[in-house]
A and B are shown apart, each in its own frame.
Chain A
Amino acid sequence: MSHGKEVISIWFFIGALLFIYGVLITGAGIYGLSHPPEAEVVLWNLHAAIWWGALLIVLGAIYLYLYAPFRRNRS
């Protein structure tokens, strides 16, 4: 998924972005448990922000690890 001249793979950027988004969205979901919004969205009881944010964190962490520049430099 990367090529010769490139030092940092695009997948590393994607991993970083997903990880940051995951932290923000999970954080917003956890905050929402104690401070529910005035108008709750449909299926609020499923707390989609928490599990979707967690999924983003996991995906982001996997890509960060697999495409980290230090791993490419070492290999």
Chain B
Amino acid sequence: MPVIPSLLLLQAPARLISLGSVDIAIIAIYFVTVLLIGFYLKGQSGTGEDFFLAGREMTAWIAGLSFLSANLGSLELMGWAAASYQYGILATHWYWIGAIPAMLFLGLVMMPFYYISKTHSVPGYLQLRFGEPSRALSAVSFAFMTVLMSGINMYSMALVMKVVLGWDINFSIWVSSLTVAVYVALGGLRSAIFNEVLQFVLIWLGALLIPILGLIEAGGWDGLQKRIAQNFAAQDYTHLWRTFGSFSDNPMGIHWTGIVLGLGWVISFGYWTTDFLVVQRVLAARDLRSAKMAPVIGAGFKMLVPFIVILPGLLGLGVLPMKLTGEGAAVASGGHSYNEVLPLMLARYCGPGLLGLGITALIAGFMSGMAGNVSAFATVWTYDIYRAFMNKDAGDAHYVGMGRWCTIVGVLVSIGAAYLVMQFQSIMDYVQALFSFFIAPLFGTVLLGMLWKRATPAGGFWGLLAGTVSSIGMWAWVKADPSALRIIALSPDARDMAENMYRGLWSWIICVAVTCIVSMMTTPLPEKSLVGLVYGCTEIPAEGAIPLHHRPAFWAAIVIVVFFILNLYFW
């Protein structure tokens, strides 16, 4: 899920890395390749199904890797590497309990309903299940947030390039975003997905050398633990769960209930099962089995991502000769901040050529995240806003044309948002909270819609609205009166991270409660109108006599077993 950016505060005194000619060549070849793929796929996006859902022809592997890659932006890499230097291995929770159960739930439980309903989008599912008002609320909030987040990511990435490489901010913003605009507008979701698979491979091959060489230098995991304990004796940075007994025992200021119920249940399930940015990739799968398998494949790789994101931050704690600090202290002392830990580790181990590959990985991460945003925005705008409320009766070619223009316009609006953030950086203080306002209640609405046939259109709409408004209300309450934190987050020692978790939990509970109460007071829909949308009214197609190793449930069981083993090993 989006993490963001204390990176916006980056202001290193001098650039961290200098690139040679071979590094520049590697970056240039990458740009040429992604554009080539866009032009190559241009002829295969003539219909709405092709442009917005990649023809529903993607294999489980391509849909699964794209599903993960759309989330694996460069800010994810930089931001969580910095968080792991700051909070230690606790940051891993956002990759394991904060992702794996939700991804498996999406694949095994929710995907059949998304897929069988043949919806183009998550707001589209809400329209089928709860009617137009719920779709309108969800589509407008999603479109607004997607473009704003895209702009913020764009600006943050340009800032990273300026600090790390000395590149001009305007150059970074325009070149990278227009490249994304061209290849997505040309080839639609198919082009975005294919490039995301390419970017996934590059991110891994570009970032993987840091943990490999780092572990060699540190003497393996045991050696690294010893070094960190020597360098930072006062704090436990290498255990996942044992410091969560009290809010004040860990640097995140959070209790295990906040991690399990807030992050592991509401926030994680909300993001991974209802955020259309990621769900759209799975909707493009070629059949139901592939659609169920794609999130399971994504979950398998997601468990490995801490190896290239969290481990570099931990290695920074163990092997860097200097101590990294917060941005303010770094500027005052002329030193480095923990936001720079990933480029510092890259510069530590990677010489000419490898440096170019590492920077290409960062750029690829940025572009995959942005392509995800604009392709999802184009779909929701075209189908859930433009076609639903402005022009219902146009032909398929008209909507494809609208999707192409919408991609360009979405990128331009994102660029505008990037410059807005540049002028008013305090916007960032609010955006992370804004994003969370919509995710947790939406999960409550979609979950009840899929699993409870008694939920009515009025219940769905008022539940979603009540959850969103209550989330905004709780946030405003704490802003106006910080002492309210002890009520919202259950402790005066709680910090921002804990507040987000608990606010999400309460708003989800309010959404579910209001949906249930209003539904019981209103007339239920006839069961025949719920076929293909709700558990109990829908016959899920059997997988037939396929071998065990082709069954999504088999691989999901393996993933969950490995998930428990990892959590116990690093307990």
A and B: interacting chains: yes
- Interface residues of chain A, those whose CB is within 8 Å of chain B, are 1-6, 8, 10, 13-14, 16-18, 20-21, 24-29, 31-32, 37, 40-44, 46, 48-49, 52-53, 56
State whether A41 touches B348 (Cβ < 8 A). yes
State whether B349 touches A42 (Cβ < 8 A). yes
Give CA–CA (A44, B349) in the complex, Å: 8
In the complex, residue of chain B having the shortest beta-carbon distance to the beta carbon of A41 = B351
**Also in contact, A25 and B357, with CB within 8 A (given A1-B59, A13-B33, A13-B37):** yes
Give CA–CA (A6, B40) in the complex, Å: 10
State whether B216 touches A56 (Cβ < 8 A). no
**Also in contact, A44 and B217, with CB within 8 A (given A3-B57, A3-B59):** no
Total number of residue pairs linking A and B with CB closer than 8 Å? 98
State whether B213 touches A18 (Cβ < 8 A). no
Partner of A14, one of B198, B286, B351, B354: B198
Q: Which residues of B contact A37 (CB under 8 A)?
A: 351-352
State whether B37 touches A28 (Cβ < 8 A). no
Q: Which residues of B contact A40 (CB under 8 A)?
A: 351
Give CA–CA (A3, B29) in the complex, Å: 26
Per DSSP, are chain A's interface residues mostly helix, strand or loop, or mixed? helix
In the complex, residue of chain B having the shortest beta-carbon distance to the beta carbon of A42 = B348
Interface residues of B in 19-77 (CB under 8 A from A): 20, 22, 25-26, 29-30, 33, 36-37, 40, 44, 55, 57-59, 61-62
State whether B213 touches A56 (Cβ < 8 A). no
Interface residues of B in 341-397 (CB under 8 A from A): 347-354, 356-357
Give CA–CA (A46, B58) in the complex, Å: 40
Residue pairs across A and B with Cβ atoms less than 8 A apart, 18 shown, are A1-B62, A3-B286, A5-B44, A5-B55, A13-B33, A13-B194, A14-B201, A18-B201, A21-B29, A24-B353, A28-B353, A32-B351, A32-B352, A41-B351, A48-B349, A48-B351, A49-B354, A52-B354
The 7 A-B pairs with the shortest beta carbon distances in the complex, nearest first, are A28-B353, A25-B353, A3-B57, A10-B194, A28-B352, A28-B22, A41-B351
1/0 per position for B307-339, CB-CB distance to A under 8 A?
000000000000000000000000000000000
Give CA–CA (A43, B353) in the complex, Å: 16
State whether B213 touches A42 (Cβ < 8 A). yes
Q: Which residues of A contact B352 (CB under 8 A)?
A: 28, 31-32, 37, 49
Partner of B357, one of A10, A14, A21, A46: A21
B205 contacts chain A at the CB level, 8 A cutoff:
yes
Q: Which residues of B contact A26 (CB under 8 A)?
A: 353
Known A1-B59, A28-B351, A40-B351; further 17 A-B contacts with Cβ < 8 A: A3-B58, A5-B57, A8-B40, A10-B62, A13-B37, A17-B33, A24-B22, A24-B356, A27-B22, A28-B22, A31-B352, A42-B213, A48-B354, A49-B354, A52-B209, A53-B353, A56-B205
**Also in contact, A43 and B62, with CB within 8 A (given A3-B286, A14-B198, A25-B353):** no
1/0 per position for B252-290, CB-CB distance to A under 8 A?
000000000000000000000000000000000010000
Give CA–CA (A28, B351) in the complex, Å: 9
Q: B44: shortest Cβ distance to chain A, in Å?
A: 5
Partner of A6, one of B44, B286, B353, B357: B44
Partner of B61, one of A1, A17, A41, A43: A1
Give CA–CA (A52, B361) in the complex, Å: 15
Give CA–CA (A42, B25) in the complex, Å: 24
